[in-house]
Amino acid sequence: MKNQTIGINGMNCMNCVGKIEKGVGALDGVLNLSIDLKGKSMTLDLDEGATPLSKVHETIGSLGFEVFEHKPKGFFGKIFKK
């Protein structure tokens, strides 16, 4: 289980948040999902053996949103940036 923070563009209301919660929450190995609408970010604990991070990115994209960065908890630089 790794805690991840993912920056997401395109969310502008609670419906958007609900869509992502439902879509990403349905993936295996996702726990403690929480979305910060104002902060444009999502945090989750992810078991990458069940679902790779790329699948989470892909799911967010297929729902019509854009991932612009992600970082594991405690990592202060950016390891993924679009």
Per CB under 5 A, the list member of 3, 5, 10, 16 interacting with Cu ion is: 16
For the bound state, the minimum distance from the C-beta of residue 28 to Cu ion, rounded and expressed in Å, comes to 26
CB nearer to Cu ion: pick between 53 and 63: 63
Please tell me whether residue 37 binds Cu ion under the rule CB under 5 A.
Answer: no
| The residue to which tokens 């679009």 are assigned | 82
Please tell me whether residue 62 binds Cu ion under the rule CB under 5 A.
Answer: no
The CA-to-CA distance between both ends of the chain, in Å, stands at 25
Please tell me whether residue 38 binds Cu ion under the rule CB under 5 A.
Answer: no
